[in-house]
Amino acid sequence: EGVEITPPLARAQRLLSFVQSHSGVLNLIIAARPSLLHESLAFLIRIPQLRAHLNFENKRKYFLRMLSLRGGADAGRYRRRIGPHLQLRRDNVFEDSFHQLRSRSAEEMRGKLQVNFQGEEGVDAGGLTREWYLVLSKEIFNPNYALFTADASGTTFQPNSHSMININHLDYFTFVGRVIGKAICDQHLMDAHFTRSFYKHILGVNVDYQDIEAIEPDYYKSLKQILDHPLADLGIDLDFTAETLTFGKHEVVDLIPGGRDIEVTDENKDEYIRLIAHHRMTSSIKAQLDAFLAGFYDMVPPALITIFSPTELELLVCGVPEIDLDDLYRNTDYHSYHAAEPVIQWFWEALRSFSSENKNKFLAFLTGTSKVPLDGFKNLQGMRGTQKFNIHKVFGPTAHQMLPSAHTCFNQLDLPAYRSAEELKSKLLLAINEASEGFGFA
Q: What is the pTM of this model?
A: 0.80
Q: DSSP state, 50?
A: H
Distance of CA 339 to the CA centre of its chain: 31
Nearest to 23 by CA among 47, 53, 43: 53
pLDDT in tens, 295-345: 999 999 999 999 999 999 999 998 878 899 999 999 999 999 999 999 999
Residues 6+ apart with CB under 8 A from 57: 31, 357
Q: Using CA atoms, how far apart are residues 147 and 323, in angstroms rounded to an integer?
A: 30
> Please, which contacts does 350-359 make with residues 24 or more away whose CB atoms are closer than 8 Å?
350/421, 350/424, 350/425, 350/428, 350/429, 351/325, 351/428, 352/325, 353/425, 354/429, 355/55, 356/320, 356/323, 357/55, 357/56, 357/57, 357/315, 357/320, 358/429, 358/432, 358/433, 359/323, 359/325
pLDDT of residue 176: 97
Question: What amino acid positions are annotated as catalytic residues?
Answer: 409
Do residues 166 and 146 lie in contact, with contact meaning Cβ atoms separated by under 8 Å? yes
pLDDT in tens, the chain (442 residues): 444 555 567 888 888 899 988 999 999 999 999 999 999 999 999 998 899 899 999 999 999 999 888 754 444 444 556 778 889 998 899 999 999 999 999 888 888 888 888 887 666 556 788 888 888 998 999 999 999 998 887 888 999 999 999 999 999 999 999 999 999 998 888 888 999 999 999 999 999 999 998 888 889 999 999 999 999 999 889 999 998 877 778 888 899 999 999 999 999 999 999 999 999 999 999 999 999 999 999 999 999 999 999 999 999 998 878 899 999 999 999 999 999 999 999 999 999 999 988 998 999 889 888 778 767 898 888 777 788 999 999 999 898 899 999 988 889 999 999 999 999 999 999 999 876 543 333 3
